Structure 1
């Protein structure tokens, strides 16, 4: 190896070939030493720094890189120099440029396991949060003076009144689609008149409440998660606890109560608007007059269909509100968590609403409300 003799030289030390550095190693003195050391192909088994004086980060990096490339240990360094070398080496962790691809089966199993664990933890946390909400509700029933009616009424406006437009439009179009698709299929059998039965029973029993619940989950459930998540980040919820105000009573219960009360009303409203939409299409496409359409609705739709929708709606409302508030209260760390928890709240609420709707369908059939 050819390098300036006042910087580094090969020599035998205790029967071992060593690469001995000497002098000051700094950006002002190393000259072309980095290039020379990068092409070193000698037989050194250690690097000796006992003769080194001043070392800056450039010199420390040069020593570290040389020891890493020729795979030898560093000896004889002063404590300060050794610490500097360790520091500059810490910012260059070893990486595998082309890692071996993981086993696809193991990766799938790992993903499934992680998802299952997360689902179980989320469900357990949601059940615990629901229990806290029920306990707070029972406490407020014993002390009704603590109920924040202003907050509840404000949520009536946000969850219910301001949703009338979008829910009405969605329901009207759903009624049109049900009537149109039903008429097309039933026409093959000359039974277009049964389109009235299809629209009436399907909207009052299932789609009116279900589609309203999905709309409320996307509109209000996400808002609950985002609002409470932002308050959690800004430490407003911690401040409420500090002054003795329960966040469950002040923030969660008004939202849950408003959603539970408003969803049956919105669901019934959606069903009526959907029936009107089906009636309009029946009038235009099937020549069924409105009077005949609504008379037929009264004849073919049993009152139990209305009861089914009204029973399911408050349960869906509770699920949506509790899920949104729970995810909002789980926000921590940074603003990115707000978006993540908001998305989780919507997905969780819609999934649970659909699952519960399936259970309700089986249950009501079992008790004879079919």
Structure 2
């Protein structure tokens, strides 16, 4: 298992190909043949791992899952159709009717809407916390709370919470901490699992793919939360029919996501999409290094421009979360800058309409400036 991050991007999760392919093959097959009825029964009962049906098991997707688990320091991963799907699958794996969870208020707008509206439709309450104070997260947790959710660097507010402090709150209360690490770039800038986070999610569409060609999402199980200590709060891991904790221990959450929630919801990442994301990963370190260098120069330039009213960039010492950035971001301060122009919305709209090379769109993490 290679130790260097840049080498892991290329090699983790590979398996020997019968034809000696140097690239990960695209297994564009809906289903996979059983060697025998007994073999099929073992696969379906999860007494043996293998490939069954591409809705939830595919060799190409499996390489992506293993590679991202390795990059993030986790034990297993579940790849899905989008970042939004990763959020929903995670929520469904842990919470149900009558339950609640706690989220930082500072999350992606799509995630916020899922938590505020979709979760409510499923009978699950989301309790938003606006402050950065871990004590406020602790105050929102009760016996029905299933997890706490936050983002490494919030999108788009550039808020950085103290992962280790919030993790201590969660573990004291007996619940896992979940972190959307999309802005952490698959562990390049930040590896939340090293700081007490139990589960990591990504929109793989962004820096993992890196070229704006492919939509995907990933859930990484850190293998750090002891579901066995909390059978009353998390009975789904102790169901006598599946015995997920007893059989799979540290990988129980990832197994539930892939072989129960993904299997039943069909939020499937296709083999061609997985291959595109794997190709994107190969250049991630080079891209992110340049992203960070360019962002720092642009942020400094914007700060001095007379038409710019304010700049929010976690690499600037006057940013309220700069100390958190120094603590948790190890290879630079990321590649997202927020800024406002003197003249407000109208000035901002004129600026966007005047751009010639920079693309105005809803995506980010592309090789091109968006």
The TM tier, using the shorter chain, reads under 0.3
Q: TM-score, normalised by structure 1?
A: 0.20
Give the number of the structure whose alpha-carbon radius of gyration is greater: 1
Name the one with the larger helix percent: 1
Name the one with the larger strand percent: 2
